[in-house]
């Protein structure tokens, strides 16, 4: 009998370790095991967000800018932290938002933000720098 017990205890340990190593069981609270994250690494979830802006608005000039991201549609509404800003949406496809931006002469230069709001109420911020 003692021989049988000696063999069954190591076998149970091997099964438990193999189960954890091959992902069949994940310890509670584990976050970095395969299959436990909905979005592995730094991948952004699908939906509305801004990735960046191409170009810089200039004081006293009308400038065409392209905002990259996903989830753009319709006629988004804009708010700007730069007073005296007028924005016209020129073109929208799912991944790009082309806008014409005019900043009134005499406004200060520097960093500001756009808040872009879609018709469904979702919003995202995009930083920009006025030259």
Contacting residues for 104 by C-beta, under 8 A, at least 6 apart: 59, 60, 83, 84, 85, 86
Statement to judge: residues 91 and 126 lie in one domain = yes
What's the pLDDT at 18? Answer: 57
- Summarize pLDDT for 20-49 with one digit per residue, the tens: 555 545 455 445 544 444 444 445 456 899
Total domains in the fold of the chain: 2
Statement to judge: residues 62 and 119 lie in one domain = yes
Statement to judge: residues 80 and 112 lie in one domain = yes
Statement to judge: residues 120 and 63 lie in one domain = yes
What's the pLDDT at 100? Answer: 96
Domain boundaries, position 12: 1-43
Which helix (H) or strand (E) segment is 67 a member of? strand 62-70
Statement to judge: residues 122 and 61 lie in one domain = yes
What letters, b where the CB count within 10 A reaches 16 and e where it falls short, cover 90-113?
Answer: eebeeeebbbebbbeeebeeeebe
pLDDT tens, residue order, the chain (131 aa): 555 555 555 655 656 555 555 554 545 544 554 444 444 444 545 689 999 999 999 999 999 999 999 999 999 999 999 989 999 999 999 899 999 999 999 999 999 999 999 999 999 999 999 99
What's the pLDDT at 39? Answer: 43
CA 11 centroid distance within chain: 46
pTM over 0.75: no
Statement to judge: residues 70 and 89 lie in one domain = yes
Statement to judge: residues 57 and 36 lie in one domain = no
What's the pLDDT at 17? Answer: 59
């Amino acid at each position: 009998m003692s021989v049988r017990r000696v063999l069954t205890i190591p076998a149970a340990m091997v099964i438990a370790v193999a189960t954890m190593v091959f992902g069949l069981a994940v310890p509670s609270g584990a976050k970095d095991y395969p299959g436990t994250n909905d979005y592995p690494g730094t991948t952004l979830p699908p939906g509305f967000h801004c990735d960046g802006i191409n170009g810089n608005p200039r004081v006293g000039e009308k400038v065409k800018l392209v905002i990259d991201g996903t989830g753009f549609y319709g006629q988004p509404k804009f708010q700007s932290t730069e007073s005296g800003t007028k924005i016209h949406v020129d073109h929208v496809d799912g991944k790009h938002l082309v806008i014409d931006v005019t900043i009134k002469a005499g406004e200060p230069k520097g960093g500001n933000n756009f808040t872009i709001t879609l018709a469904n109420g979702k919003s995202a911020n995009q930083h920009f720098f006025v030259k």
